[in-house]
Structure 1
Amino acid sequence: MSELQLTDVRKSYGGLEVIKGVDLDIKSGEFVVFVGPSGCGKSTLLRMIAGLEEITSGDLTIDDLRMNDVDPSRRGIAMVFQSYALYPHMTVRENMGFALRFAGVPKPEIEKRVTEAANILELGALLDRKPKQLSGGQRQRVAIGRAIVRHPKIFLFDEPLSNLDAELRVHMRIEIARLHKQLAATIVYVTHDQVEAMTLADKIVVLRAGVVEQIGSPLELYDDPANLFVAGFIGSPKMNFLKGVIENAHEQLHVRLPDYGEATIPVSLAGAVPGTTVTIGIRPEHFNEQGPASLDLTVDMLEHLGGETFAYARHGNGEVVVIETKNGRGLKSGDSIVARFDPACALVFDESGKRLR
């Protein structure tokens, strides 16, 4: 497999810059996921790698060879789109081998590659069927097989699971993870679904408005987000954010939470200035019965998931706080609760959204 590097890559449409200086190194065999909200530029960036969009400035290299002006067909890249785009009149075998026939690959070699890909994707029994006879997941596997037979240097996936139902998405995530392990392939994958990103990626690139907010492994981004945006985007249910003010009492810094009955949370921050407005971030699973910090809340609703329950609660008319609880079966809407947590688990962000440490 191959390495890919982006150096200060930018994309503009007239006077509108949509990709704003992306630097990224992708190692051979890595599974890298671009994630972010709609309109953040992730699909545009993927299409620039594929050669379907021109690079306005900066450099794209594959195995140290500059690819900016290389035709898409010569980049050694195969792309799997959101739409399966299968030919309805062709069988699975014919769909998978079409690009090779078009390229003039000998028939025995085409048959060999199609058979190999079908075995990898468990499509052997379906090779003589047409797309209308297949389920959504099977069609997506055919689309992936069409990419595999080309023996590409790099696979590009553009939201390939978004047309599938929830259960099938989970199954196909497992299939793609297994495929990556089996092929040891370099994969660049685009999704707006952060759960998909967390479960598939070796490395996640979080994008917002054409800017890379943070790059890291799934757990690095989850445990140590660089800013408020990443903290809120990575994790499901999302992190709770509580508005507060830094105060100094008895030589101890703490954050006072006016919207939560003047509750206070002790913090340890270098260079913190009393009177500064901040945001406290606490994940739902960090609430526990023994934590020294606490919030007095009233339960709005409960989400029972069997082994765990998420309580949606608030103080007065304040923002909803999501709490993961193991004893949620004993709760009901309207109950008053004391939500405890360890202040060491709380993250602090300044007014600009930057993480304070």
Structure 2
Amino acid sequence: MSGLKLTNVKKSFGAVEVIRGVDLDIADKEFVVFVGPSGCGKSTLLRMIAGLEQISGGDLFIGEERMNDVDPSKRGIAMVFQTYALYPHMSVRENMGFALRFAGANKAEIETRVAEAARILELEPLLDRRPGQLSGGQRQRVAIGRAIVRHPDVFLFDEPLSNLDAELRVHMRIELARLHQELKTTIIYVTHDQVEAMTLADKIVVLRDGRIEQVGSPLQLYDDPNNIFVAGFIGSPKMNFFRGIAEPGGIRLADFPGQIIPSPVTLAEGTEVTVGIRPEHFSAEGIADLDVIVEIIEHLGGETYAYARDKGADLVTIATDNNRTLKTGDRYAAKFDPADILVFDNDGQRLR
């Protein structure tokens, strides 16, 4: 079992720098998720850890050993890719044991490790089937099993659920969380899906443009984002943002000039800010409100979301406590507690 340490790690393709000085500590047995929009560098960073991309600058340590120039096969890692990459002519048993057979392991050891992985992943009834006889979720479990049999120090997952349908994604998230609890090993997982990040991670690393924006537990990032990017990226539906200006008594919102909201932070008069309110922070108990007209209603069974605006204002997303009487065209007072708002400066940095 091993932790990892990245110190000022950089990656360039010619003159284009795609990873721009990443510093990160990953503890032994931690489940860490790299999340961010497409092109942010999360998969490149994972491939650098795996040894599939050379490190242009900085240092990578797995355990106490510097790994910059160590061959991928000797790093003690196993990687599960977005595509299953199973051999179609081999059985599940043969696919899972192939890497061990290629490495020269004896038959008894291969059988023992394959049987152990099959038990963990509930693949025992499928061992004699071929990939073409399996569902997408079963194929993904075989790909994970192929990694488990190697007994790696670190598992690397590169968007492994992106090819699955919504129901299978939920099921596989649960399976991966259970797998981490059973194996008790270090896992680094890449996804662009912040719901996956929130539900799986011990620690989330939010990336943008090759840099780390913030690192923390899912709830730390949700409750206490450092900037407007993290605040908007973490959370579904995403946070609402409003332009505002500080006045005596609080913040006047540009789209709702009749409302001055008490500010949770001290601001100089005339300071331009952005105010963030999460959809679930609208409630019937708030002392402030936004007067809006409902445009769209989403009834999701256990919860209801209203999308509303006033005149030319931006659309506001409101969680309505499963209000089933609300209709399109209704005027609605979206109440909230000013203590729940977040305030950001013109550079997008959080004001505390």
Q: Same fold (TM over 0.5)?
A: yes
- Please state how far the C-alpha of 1:185 moved relative to its aligned partner: 1.3
- Report how far residue 335 of structure 1 moved: 0.2
Q: 1:303-314 to 2 correspondence within 5 Å?
A: 303-314=298-309
Aligned to 2:172: 172
* Equivalent AA in structure 2 for residue 22 of structure 1: V
Q: CA deviation at 1:64?
A: 1.2
Write the mapping of 1:154-193 to structure 2, written as runs, cut at 5 A.
154-193=154-193
Give percent identity, aligned residues only: 71
In structure 1, the residue corresponding to 2:196 is in which secondary structure?
Answer: helix
Measure how far apart 1:273 and its partner are: 2.0
Match of 2:207 in 1: 207
Distance 2:216 2:133 in 1: 41
Q: TM-score, normalised by structure 2?
A: 0.99
**Counterparts in 2 of 1:229-240, with a 5 A limit?**
229-240=229-240
Paired residue for 1:258? 254
Displacement of 1:282 in angstroms is 0.4
Cα distance in 1 for partners of 2:268, 2:22 equals 33
Mapped to 2, the partners of 1:16 and 1:327 lie a distance apart of 49
Whole-angstrom distance in 2 between the partners of 1:129 and 1:258: 62
Distance 1:136 1:234 in 2: 28
- Deviation, 1:320, is 0.6
Deviations 1:225-246 (A, max 9, x none): 0000000000000000011111
For structure 1, which segment, 209-218 or 287-296, has the greater mean C-alpha deviation from structure 2 after superposition? 287-296
Counterpart in the other structure of 1:228? 228
Hey, what's the Cα distance between the residues in 1 that align with 2:163 and 2:97? 24
| 1:273 alignment counterpart | 268
Aligned partner of 1:275: which letter?
G
- The equivalent residue for 2:338 is 343
- The answer as to 2:15 corresponding to 1:20 is no
Q: Distance in 1 between matches of 2:146 and 2:286?
A: 53
The number of aligned residues is 352
Q: Structure 1 unaligned runs (5+)?
A: none
Q: In 2, are the aligned partners of 1:311 and 1:328 still within 8 Å (CA)?
A: no
1:161-192: CA deviation from partner (whole Å, max 9, x where unpaired) = 00000000000000000000000110000000
Q: Partner letter of residue 199 of structure 1?
A: T
Rounded to whole Å, the distance in 1 between the matches of 2:95 and 2:12 is 35
Matched residue SS, 1:99? helix
Residue 320 of structure 1 corresponds to which residue in structure 2?
315
How far does residue 261 in structure 1 lie from its aligned partner after superposition?
Answer: 4.0
**CA separation in 2, counterparts of 1:239 and 1:9?**
31
Query: Which amino acid in 2 is paired with 1:306?
Result: G
Tell me which amino acid in the other structure corresponds to 1:260: F
Question: Post-superposition shift, 1:327?
Answer: 4.6
Q: CA deviation at 1:308?
A: 1.4
Q: Matched residues in 2 for 1:261 and 1:332: separation?
A: 25
Distance 2:311 2:204 in 1: 38
Report if the CA contact (8 A) 2:242-2:254 is conserved. Answer: no
Deviation at 1:295, TM superposition (A): 0.5
In the TM superposition, what is the alpha-carbon distance from 1:268 to its structure 2 partner?
A: 3.3
Q: Aligned with 2:324: secondary structure? A: helix
Q: CA RMSD in A?
A: 0.7
Secondary structure in structure 2 of the residue aligned to 1:174:
helix
Q: 1:262: how far off? A: 2.8
CA-to-aligned-CA distance 1:113-135 (integer Å, 9 cap, x gap): 00000000000000000000000
Q: Read off the aligned partner of 1:49 and give its amino acid letter.
A: I
1:331 maps to 2:331: no
Contact map agreement 1:286 1:342 (CA 8 A) in 2: yes
Residue 141 of structure 2 corresponds to 141
Q: Residue type of the partner of 2:186?
A: T
Letter of the aligned partner of 2:238 in structure 1?
K
- Say whether the 8 Å CA contact 2:293–2:332 is kept in structure 1: yes
The one-letter code matched in structure 1 to 2:287 is P
Q: Is residue 47 from structure 1 mapped to residue 29 from structure 2 by the alignment?
A: no
- How far apart are 1:277 and its partner, in Å? 1.3
> Cα deviations across residues 206-256 of structure 1 (Å, max 9, x unaligned)?
0000010000000000000000000000000000001111112xxx3x110
Checking the alignment, whether the CA contact within 8 Å between 1:261 and 1:296 is kept in structure 2 is no
Deviates more, 1:166-175 or 1:272-281: 272-281
Structure 1 segments (4+ residues) deviating >3 Å: none
* TM norm structure 1: 0.98
2:7 corresponds in structure 1 to 7
Work out the CA distance in 1 between the residues paired with 2:146 and 2:72: 16
Deviations 1:241-298 (A, max 9, x none): 01111112xxx3x11012124311111324x221121110000110111101110000
Contact 1:154–1:187 (Cα < 8 Å) also in 2: yes
Of 294, 297, 316, the residue aligned with 2:292 is: 297
Asked if structure 1 preserves the Cα contact closer than 8 Å seen for 2:9 and 2:60, the reply is yes
